[in-house]
Amino acid sequence: MPHEADIPEIRQIFLSATAQDCKTYREAVRDFIHDNIEAAKVFLQENWAEGGKFVEPVCKRKVDECDAYFGLFGYRYGWTPPLQRCSITELEFRWAVDRWGAAEAPIFVLRPVLGSEADQHLRDQAALFHDKQPAPDADADRHAQRQFLASVDQWAANGRIQVFYRNPLQLVGKALCCVKDWNQEVLRNATRERFKAPGDIPRNELGRIGRDEQIAALKSALNALRDRRAERAAAFFIHGPENHGQLEFVEFLRDWHDEWEGMDLCCGQADEPDSAESLICWACSQLGEPLLGEPTIDALAGLLATRLSGRSVVLILRTIGREATRRELFLQRFWQPLHAALAARQPGGRGRLYCFVADHAPLAAAPDAGFRTTGLNAGDVDYRQLLALPPLAGLTPGHVRNWLADIRKSAGVRLDENERDTIADYATTPDGNPPDVYNRLNLHGFWSRAR
């Protein structure tokens, strides 16, 4: 039996692309890999947005931390940071090349076949943005992208990996094969004399591990709001240090079926989360009522007032934004004007608006007046504020053990005490690969026993 090749497995993937024109394709790659590779995680910018920090160091650190780099390139050059001569997308590619150098490199470049369906889609998406720019700026962006892609071709001429695809199905299939071929999955499983158990733990399940404090505070605040008949809306703030389970907790909220039964539920994020206009357009489209005129708070309030006359609405935003002033922007340009506009409209029915927004950074110990952190169920709550749930903290072995005992009833997964201890200790002890506690839980494969 041959020995395992001494090549690190790919689990954490940095996916670089201009965000808006490549949006559909990059999210398809992320979702397909998550669905088909146990414990894999694809990082897009919104997964690790850190407001108040310089973009370049944050991006470079992410490239250095990941096991592989995907470059999904279309026909926009994109944003160039201040004092830089290259766009952030080109910088990410250069950092990946520098990191792995001339060694065997897990760098995969994904490009459309010229004249194909995918090629036309990316050209059309880029044109939407170029048409909004002054002609000289649009021409400069096109020229810079041509030069960048020529340099990528030159880099790839020495046998590096460029993957060409004709349509979205080919893209996700070839991206998946890149990871599986690199990981030599069949060979590794054969030498280990076992096959990994299939089945990832649902993210909504992961999102409730160790979150009893947040869930209890939220339930109490919701009950208090419902007792105040005159109040029509409340916004809840999810926060904590980066990678402390914000996305998993959002998935728990989205699938909290007992709480949201009979309500209109919308979960996702706007294309430009720091823009009130983009948030308004996103909310209207999620409610199935695209705006015909200008995206104004009054237009959204009118739509919501009509909807609330029949039932409640839940808006769950995966991120509050990326700018240093993102919290102030959300409060002053979106939430507080929307709350006032709803309060000014004639109430009809008993429906309410429940808004949730996540931030990937902790809240200061003494936040400004726009936030309330204690007594969310008290009689003096000002619902123009963001009601901050208890901060998301790191998971302890006790949290994981309790959850593993819990899922005997909820999912039919039975583990003895020794198994629970082993899994809990491993999952909460970072060893660098993978660094994420939720991925370490998936490595055990025990969820395949779920009924």
Q: pLDDT at residue 4 above 50?
A: no
Residues paired with 316 in a beta bridge? 267, 356
HEC profile of 325-360: CHHHHHHHHHHHHHHHHHHHCCCCCCCCEEEEEECC
Q: Which of the two residues, 61 and 119, has the higher pLDDT score? A: 119
Cis peptide before 106 (omega within 30 of 0): no
Average pLDDT over residues 76-98: 91
Average pLDDT over residues 172-185: 86
Region of residue 432 (phi > 0: left; psi between -120 and 50: alpha; otherwise: beta): left
Residues paired with 41 in a beta bridge? 12
pLDDT of residue 354: 96
pLDDT of residue 185: 60
pLDDT of residue 207: 93
> Rounded CA gap, 333 and 289, in Å?
21
CA angle, 393 then 394 then 395, to 5° = 120
Average pLDDT over residues 204-209: 92
pLDDT of residue 8: 75
- Return the SS3 of 430: coil
Percent of the chain past pLDDT 70, that is, above it, reads 90
Integer-rounded Cα Rg, in Å, for the chain is 24
Look over the chain and give the mean of its residue pLDDT values, rounded to a whole number.
87
Q: Where does the pLDDT of residue 112 fall: very low under 50, low under 70, confident under 90, or very high at 90 and above?
A: very high
Write b or e for each residue in 176-214: b if 16 or more Cβ atoms lie within 10 A of its Cβ, otherwise e. bebbbebbebeeeeeeeeeebeeebbebbbbbbbbbeeb
Q: Which of 137-146, 250-259, 385-394 has the lowest mean pLDDT?
A: 250-259
For the record, the structure tokens of 129 come out as 């943005």
Please, which residues have CB within 8 angstroms of residue 22's CB and are 6 or more apart in sequence?
72, 74, 122, 125
Q: pLDDT at residue 5 above 50?
A: no
Domain boundaries, the chain: 12-192, 205-388, 395-449
Contact by Cβ (8 Å): 371, 386: yes
Q: How many residues does the chain have?
A: 451
Domains 12-192 and 205-388 share a fold: yes
Distances (CA, A) of 443 to 204, 243, 389, 433, 435: 17, 18, 30, 11, 12
Q: Where does the pLDDT of residue 90 fall: very low under 50, low under 70, confident under 90, or very high at 90 and above?
A: very high
Q: pLDDT at residue 50 above 60?
A: no
Q: Which of 55-59, 178-182, 189-193, 215-219 has the highest mean pLDDT?
A: 215-219
Q: Where does the pLDDT of residue 74 fall: very low under 50, low under 70, confident under 90, or very high at 90 and above?
A: very high
Q: Which of 101-105, 170-174, 311-315, 354-358 has the lowest mean pLDDT?
A: 101-105
User: pLDDT digits over 121-177, tens only?
Assistant: 999 999 999 999 999 999 999 999 999 999 998 888 766 778 899 999 999 999 999
In the chain, DSSP finds a helix count (H) and a strand count (E) of 18, 11
- Return the SS3 of 424: helix
pLDDT of residue 71: 95
Q: What is the DSSP string of 356-408?
A: EEE-SSPPPSS--TTEE-S-TTSTT--TTSEEEPPPP-PPPHHHHHHHHHHHH
> Rounded CA gap, 21 and 152, in Å?
19
Strand order through the sheet with 233-238: 264-268, 313-317, 353-358, 233-238, 386-388, 371-372
Please, which residues have CB within 8 angstroms of residue 395's CB and are 6 or more apart in sequence?
209, 210, 245, 427, 428, 437
Q: Which of 171-180, 188-197, 421-430 has the lowest mean pLDDT?
A: 188-197
For the domain spanning 205-388, the CATH number is 3.40.50
Q: Which of the two residues, 388 and 189, has the higher pLDDT score? A: 388
Please tell me the pTM assigned to this model. Answer: 0.59
For the domain spanning 12-192, the CATH number is 3.40.50
In terms of C-beta density within 10 A (0-12 exposed, 13-18 middle, 19 or more buried), how is residue 101 classed? exposed
